[in-house]
Amino acid sequence: MSPLLVIVVGLILLVPAIAIAIPVHEMGHAAAAYLLGDRSVRYFGYFSIDPRRFVEPIGVLAVFLALVGWGRRVPIQANRINTTPKKVLYELGGPGANLLVALVVGQVVRVMLQHGYRLDFLDPQAVLLGFIYVIVFLNLSLFAFNLLPVPGLDGWNIIENLFRSRWPRFFFEVHVRQREIWAGVVLIVILFNFFNHVNLLNPIMSPFFQPASLISTGACLPYGVPYINFLVPCLL
């Protein structure tokens, strides 16, 4: 298989994974909000399977470039999700939904591997397994990435909901400077990769990604498209 064809196949395999993983994440938030008493998420159509309702252009671009991403956040009624436990459960809904899909679909990958199928993205005969695995991988990636304590992600929102009453000024300052913080984080990741040839996302995502991957597929496997992206959030 030519290098160009490998790149094209690798990018194509990401498309259905994006169409599943990002809507699953946001519908997980919507389901959590609904169960916690906010019925507006159903009224406004956030249980739709149409991915266009959930995808966010920069979040999708991030998937193609770095194999991590996010979707369009589901709005909720603050008077319904109004206690710290409810807010934390709402934030966990998105990563939890990604983890659930990975656990279920990952069993298919586990069975196929046990029956001799090879996870070789260069082998045309292994495309079916690759197609299924990329869906599992991206769900695991969104699960792990969105739990990171970075402003704007679910992990940070959980921390903020738990401690905002204690340090309101700090969290206000972080919120005001969220764009600058994101720019700094992206710059650090890029520079660290350039000078040290290490993707910082690998070690910081591995505490979430690796155990979930081992449970779902029985292995912790990477994914990447040559010359574009590569992610192996597993402890080597």
- pLDDT at 101 (0 to 100): 97
Domain membership of residue 236 (yes or no) is no
Q: Specify if 73 maps to a domain.
A: yes
Segments in the chain forming alpha helices (H): 3-35, 40-43, 57-66, 84-114, 127-146, 154-163, 168-176, 178-196, 201-217
Provide the domain limits for residue 153: 3-231
| pLDDT tens for each residue of the chain, 236 residues long | 678 888 898 899 999 999 999 999 999 999 999 999 999 988 888 888 788 889 999 999 999 999 999 999 888 998 899 999 999 999 999 999 999 999 999 999 999 888 877 777 666 667 888 899 999 999 999 999 999 999 999 999 999 999 999 999 999 999 999 999 999 999 999 998 888 888 999 999 999 999 999 999 999 989 999 889 999 999 86
| pLDDT value of position 118 | 75
Q: What is the DSSP string of 156-192?
A: HHHHHHHHTTTSHHHHHHHHHTHHHHHHHHHHHHHHH
Long-range pairs, 202-207, Cβ under 8 A, ≥24 = 202/231, 202/232, 202/233, 202/234, 203/233, 203/235, 204/148, 205/68, 205/141, 205/144, 205/145, 205/148, 205/231, 205/233, 206/144, 206/233, 206/234, 206/235
pLDDT at 1: 62
pLDDT value at residue 236: 65
Assigned domain for 17 exists: yes
What's the structural domain count of the chain? 1
Q: Is the pTM of this model over 0.85?
A: yes
- Number of residues assigned to the chain: 236
Q: Is 23 within the bounds of a domain?
A: yes
**Is the residue at 143 inside a domain?**
yes
27, part of any domain: yes
Distance (Å, whole) CA 184 – CA 187: 5
Confidence at residue 124, expressed as pLDDT on a 0 to 100 scale: 63
Does residue 42 sit within a domain? Answer: yes
